[in-house]
Copies of this chain bind each other. A is one copy, B any other.
């Protein structure tokens, strides 16, 4: 602590210790110190100890910008997230641990109302991300392909075909299929679906519903209500059904938010769930876990998707893979309290 304690941070004048300072303190070259600090074999045990002590004493901390510049590699994975999405939050958490395990670091860039995907990706590239992990990208396929030209793109959570980029996602149609199977298994036949709009994901889930219904010979019961990903869409759909008078025995919603809207409308109308009508969502949102909803839903295994995304990046970066790969995981039905045998 020979440094003046009051040498407070100020503008650029801050003198955080450099490699050179540590080197000077132990009378070695910066090269040796660098080696020790990165755990590269070579330096003797004695040197190692002295350097580590000196570094600790000085409160030395590596300057990433400098080391990234110096090493050809940055070992940085750029992640684009929608910071408002709880699901993305979960993915990021797992991405962090997965990346750490293989010696990579994450740099996050978030989407906001005023920051579109393009801006976010630019930022990621400016930090020299070696690969781009895009969570739920909505940009058109050729835009993504353009990004991929700058750094390998791994798209997570969305089906994208024929662009030569890596995709990690769950099989949405299969997920909805599992829901239908579960309901049919309980004895339901009149199973109505509340749609999720125009996106790729919504299309897959809708198809999953239709296919499963037909597989069970329930073609006549197929009924898709207009909707989207919001709670109010769920409410509207439910009211529509209630007004119509012919209540199905089960309602499958595009996602949990929408399902909660359905629940709210049914509750208001005095319809018992799951007594009279069973309700199922999708996403295993934190919402669905709230004990007041306790919603049966489908989980997208964030953990696994994250691991596969990191693996894909590493394969491209370290193993020279150039063939695009699509990983499609099987979602998992989570049975909670909103489904039961029909009355």
Mark each residue of chain A from 1 to 23: 1 if its CB lies under 8 Å from any CB of chain B, else 0: 10101011111111010000000
- Give Cα A127–Cα B74 distance, bound, in whole angstroms: 12
This protein's copies in its complex: 2
Mark each residue of chain A from 76 to 119: 1 if its CB lies under 8 Å from any CB of chain B, else 0: 00000001101001101100110000000101111011110000
In the assembled complex, the CB of A154 is this many whole angstroms from the nearest CB of chain B, namely 12
Query: At the interface, yes or no: A61 with Cβ under 8 Å from chain B?
Result: yes
User: Nearest B residue to A128 by beta-carbon distance?
Assistant: B65
In the assembled complex, the CB of A115 is this many whole angstroms from the nearest CB of chain B, namely 6
Query: At the interface, yes or no: A58 with Cβ under 8 Å from chain B?
Result: no
Query: At the interface, yes or no: A150 with Cβ under 8 Å from chain B?
Result: yes
Chain B hits for A287, CB < 8 A: 287
Cβ 8 A contact of A112, one of B10, B96, B320: B96
With A93-B112, A114-B97, A292-B267 in contact, do A8 and B260 touch (Cβ < 8 Å)?
A: no
With A63-B126, A291-B231 in contact, do A83 and B89 touch (Cβ < 8 Å)?
A: yes
Chain B hits for A10, CB < 8 A: 320, 322
Query: At the interface, yes or no: A317 with Cβ under 8 Å from chain B?
Result: yes
Secondary structure class of chain A's binding surface, majority of residues: mixed
Range class of the A interface residue count: 35 or more
Mark each residue of chain A from 235 to 279: 1 if its CB lies under 8 Å from any CB of chain B, else 0: 100000000000000000000000011011001000000000000
Query: At the interface, yes or no: A125 with Cβ under 8 Å from chain B?
Result: yes
In the assembled complex, the CB of A277 is this many whole angstroms from the nearest CB of chain B, namely 16
Q: List 8 A-B pairs, minimum CB-CB distance, nearest first.
A: A264-B292, A12-B72, A64-B126, A83-B89, A93-B112, A108-B108, A65-B68, A65-B65
A residues neighboring B (CB under 8 Å): 1, 3, 5, 7-14, 16, 59, 61-66, 68-69, 72-74, 83-84, 86, 89-90, 92-93, 96-97, 105, 107-110, 112-115, 122-123, 125-128, 148-152, 231-232, 235, 260-261, 263-264, 267, 287, 290-292, 316-318, 320, 322
Q: A83-B93, A235-B291 are in contact. List 18 more A-B contacts (CB 8 A).
A: A3-B72, A5-B149, A8-B149, A9-B148, A11-B73, A11-B317, A11-B320, A12-B73, A14-B151, A16-B150, A59-B150, A65-B127, A84-B90, A93-B112, A96-B110, A96-B114, A261-B292, A267-B292
